[in-house]
Amino acid sequence: MLKKILAQISIILIIFSFNSILAAEKCSPDLEMNKGNTSLNSEIDSSEKGEIFVFFDQSTTMKGFTVDQPGQENLYVNIVDDIQQIAENIGSDIIYQNFGNEINPMQDRDVAKVKTPKFYDCSGSSVACNNQSSTIQEIFKIAEELPEATHIVVTHLSLQDRQLVGSESKQIRNPLTSILKKGKSIGIIGVMNSYNGTIDSIPQKNGEYIKYLDAESRPFYILVIGNQKNINRIKADIVENHFSSNQENFKYALITSSPILQNLNVNKLIEETNMPAKLSREDEFNFSYIDDYLPIYRFTGDKNTELKFKINNDDIIVKGSTGVSNFSITEKVWTTNKIKCKDIKSWNEANFGELSTITQNKDELVIDLFTKKPLKKLFRGIRYFYKVDVYAEKPGDSSEKEFSNWSVNSSEIDDFTQTNPVTFKTLNLEKFVSILNAVSGDTFKKTLIASFAVNFNLEK
Amino acid sequence: MNHIIRSIILTLIGLLLLGWISFWFSALNALGPDGESDLLQWYFDNLVQSEEITSSGMPWEDLAVSLYNLLAQMTTALLSTAVVAALIWSIGSHFLNINAPGKAKFYFIYWIIFTGIFMGIVFGLVFWFTKSSTFNAADYLSDGGVFLISAISVIYYFLVYYLGILLGTARFARSSILFGNKLPANNLL
């Protein structure tokens, strides 16, 4: 019995002394964890149903989408049907409105008519029926005033130059800035559809406007302003119902002030595999987290050790969003001439300047460690602790490229019309998307997406 | 045999004329750096990559420990080589087959080859200490520092060796070494 007690006491003492040794180790310098904004894209988790405003463009040119064109697929009717259904599913209150020169509420019985040419016919006076432009800026104002609601807009999205410059442009920019600052996003879903109608208000070089009747297909757009969850749901439903096999006639962009999905450290998503597999075969390799936040790769390397830290774009960038066009890193290095952790009493802060580079390709974000100051220039016999914080600096402009081939500028549309196109492009679409991108750039805040450290010493 | 012992003593005296500096220098380095010393500062200014060391954040005094160790070991190895080479030549000179006047000059070529081998070893040792990956502290050395160490080592240890053999070479074989015949004919030498 006594032996047993003694044995237990010995084990406890051994464990206790071992822990004391570990506790005394100073294998990392004193770090101030910059955890950045740990609740990125928290709006995604919002599950409450809210108000849904659905706006149907009632300008006369929209009629062409409802009339079948032989040999062309008409998705407009079905998609409008889907939108009504999705709105009913995701919203608690659905408010339907139509817009042209002005915005008007719709009676329930009128909603079903949106799919018919009759909805776009005008029975008023010729002045009242001069319903050729869409006051989309008014919708943005409503969205600004009711940011918690989801706003769905079905429109041809052809905008005149005057709507994109000066005070009219501000009527678009200001509400959008406010919307994005509130953490909301704007989804643009483009659908190339059959068209059998009149495209009006086409500006000519001489300042006159003409109509075009020979288009057989033309894109229409569904703008969704609200939280990303609803935007993604609407997009997913449309893709699933109509474009599951072929997305040639479908385009999508998500404009958001927060195209960053998450900070990888918060959910401990950084793993050994973010570094080359060879690294784990280096002497004394160890991968662990400090404070449940900062991953550290510890090893004994040589001057040829390859250090490339890779992050999958899908892990950090909201799918379908404009992405990030510019990343940056901040680097900090500490040194000590004690190689073994148990011998380290203190660390010295080094001042090496820039050590690594960051590049982004189609699939990955690659941080090439020690490219500016190669490992060959570091000293053996010193332990280095190198901490890297990766930031997203500037949102991308992929959406402009995405929509560019469906867009035509006002300076080109005259010549374009002269070619008698069968597929008609959208006036100033690219400019509109670039305004959205610019607004998103203005509201974007530098965001920490990942932090990691390498703790190593070099041998011959 | 007496001649050989006298040769050894004279060689050691010759080696000592300059060799004491190396001995003193090795001892100084073996003791390690002193934060206040001029030598530590001189190393920093002339031998090492001072900018890199400054930017590493490490106190030079801490890093210098391994450089002092490297230099202590290197100078010891070089001095030992010079001593061994000088003794080999001095003792060996007694066994050269010089049986006629003027024949000693013929062995000048032997001396040149032997000295060349010695200098090669000196070069090799300096390279091994300063450019190979054997010593971590070699990383600290700048290109200019390596050149300085090499140049000083080659010249200095040649002189140590040369003075050793100048005094220690057998009297009848002195013509085989550079300026050996310029030594005065003295019973002590």
Whether A382 and B58 lie within 8 Å, measured CB to CB? yes
A contacts of B56 (beta carbons < 8 Å) = 335, 348, 350, 352, 379, 382
Whether the CB-CB separation of A319 and A239 falls below 8 Å is answered with: no
Which pLDDT does position A124 carry in this prediction? 62
**Pairing state of beta strands A383-395 and A294-302?**
unpaired
Mean per-residue pLDDT, B44-59: 93
B58 close contact with A: CB closer than 8 A? yes
Contact indicator for A330, A352 with CB cutoff of 8 Å: no
CB contact under 8 A, B59 and A348: yes
pLDDT at residue A44, as a whole number: 45
B chain contacts of residue A460, beta-carbon cutoff 8 Å: 133-134
B63 with A352: Cβ contact below 8 A: no
Structure-token pair, residue B29:
């380095």
A336 interaction partners in chain B (CB closer than 8 Å): 58
Q: Say yes or no: B63 contacts chain A, CB-CB below 8 A.
A: yes
Number of Cβ within 10 Å of residue A397's Cβ equals 19
Per-residue pLDDT tens over the stretch A335-380: 998 888 888 888 999 999 999 999 998 889 999 999 999 999 999 9
Q: Do A349 and B56 touch (CB under 8 A)?
A: no
Written as one letter, the residue type at A184 is K
Residues on chain B touching A385 (C-beta within 8 angstroms):
none
What is the model's pLDDT at position A9?
A: 62
pLDDT of res. A39: 56
pLDDT digits (tens, 9 = 90+) for A59-100: 888 899 999 888 888 899 889 888 888 888 888 888 999 888
B58 to A348: CB separation less than 8 angstroms, yes or no: yes
A391 confidence band (pLDDT: 50, 70, 90): very high
Q: Decide which of A122 and B94 is more confident.
A: B94
Mutate to test the interface with A, among B51, B136, B140 (most CBs of A within 10 A): B136
Cβ contact A348–B134 (<8 Å) = no
pLDDT digits (tens, 9 = 90+) for A262-299: 889 988 899 999 999 999 888 889 999 988 899 999 99
A380–B133 C-beta distance less than 8 A: yes
Most confident of A3-17, A37-51, B138-152: B138-152
pLDDT at position B120 = 96
Q: Which residues of A touch B (CB under 8 A)?
A: 333-337, 348-353, 377-382, 460
> Do A286 and A211 form a contact (C-beta atoms < 8 A)?
no
Residue A1 has pLDDT above 70, yes or no: no
ipTM: 0.82
pLDDT band at A390 (very low <50, low <70, confident <90, very high): very high
- How would residue A381 be classed by pLDDT, with cut points 50, 70 and 90? confident
Mean pLDDT of the B25-44 span: 90
| CA proximity to A311, closest of A348, A278, A274 | A274
pLDDT digits (tens, 9 = 90+) for B129-170: 999 988 999 999 999 999 999 999 999 999 999 999 988 887
Instruction: Give percent above pLDDT 90 in chain B.
Output: 61
Higher-confidence residue of A132 and B136: namely B136
Residues of B in contact with A333 (CB under 8 A): 57
Please state the separation of Cα B70 from the chain's center in Å.
15
Residues in chain B with CB shorter than 8 Å from the CB of A380 are: 133, 136, 139
For residue A425, the distance in angstroms to the closest alpha carbon of chain B comes to 58
> What distance in Å separates residue B37's CA from the closest CA in chain A?
21
Please compute the mean of the pLDDT values over residues B23-29 and round it to a whole number: 94
For residue A322, what are the contacts with CB-CB under 8 A and spacing of at least 6?
A: A253, A254, A255, A256, A259, A395, A396, A397, A398, A399, A437, A440
Residues B54-72: pLDDT tens digits? 999 999 998 999 999 999 9
Candidates B54, B62, B133; nearest CB to A337: B62
Which B residues, 107 through 136, put their C-beta within 8 Å of a C-beta on chain A? 133-134, 136
Nearest to A190 by CA among A454, A368, A429: A429
> Are the beta carbons of A374 and A357 closer than 8 angstroms?
no
pLDDT-based confidence at A18, cuts 50/70/90?
very low
Crossing angle of the two packed helices B2-31 and B60-93, in degrees rounded to 10: 180
- What is the pLDDT at residue B186? 61
What is the rounded distance in angstroms from the CA atom of residue A409 to the CA atom of residue A219?
15
pLDDT of A36: 64
Average pLDDT, chain A: 85
